[in-house]
Structure 1
């Protein structure tokens, strides 16, 4: 996982900070992952399961790159056996 850094102080207290490809820092918004997963499947159980696992994996970090989030979603989908969805997500 390509984590930017783990520190004792986040830019967004109480949450994860995302570093965009341009270097900007924004607050993590799990609703974006939810929306992306909902675009891949109409099964709310799959969406909830994958979203929960991704958020749990990222919870231990303070700052993470957008690419890391995308890779985590794709890897989680593949690990759960949703290989086709993982490929669609990466496109």
Structure 2
């Protein structure tokens, strides 16, 4: 499994978050996992903003990203804690007719 680290050089890192990417997101980012160091008080929106800044081709609408934190879907206002695992899940489409 490949992994990349994104580090905000603003200092004061209190949270280390592992972000797992699936399906088309993994293909576009060319990695299955990213480790983010975020400041205390960060939310899912902070995480999404940082990932999309590093990988702008990931999605054209960051607000529509579906995010699970520790295997539970959360909205973008959800606060993060040190050691959380996030999963970015692309929209599902298609299927049998």
Range class of TM-score, shorter chain: 0.3 to 0.5
Of Structure 1 and Structure 2, the greater strand share is in: 2
TM-score by length of 2: 0.36
Of Structure 1 and Structure 2, the greater helix share is in: 1
TM-score by length of 1: 0.38
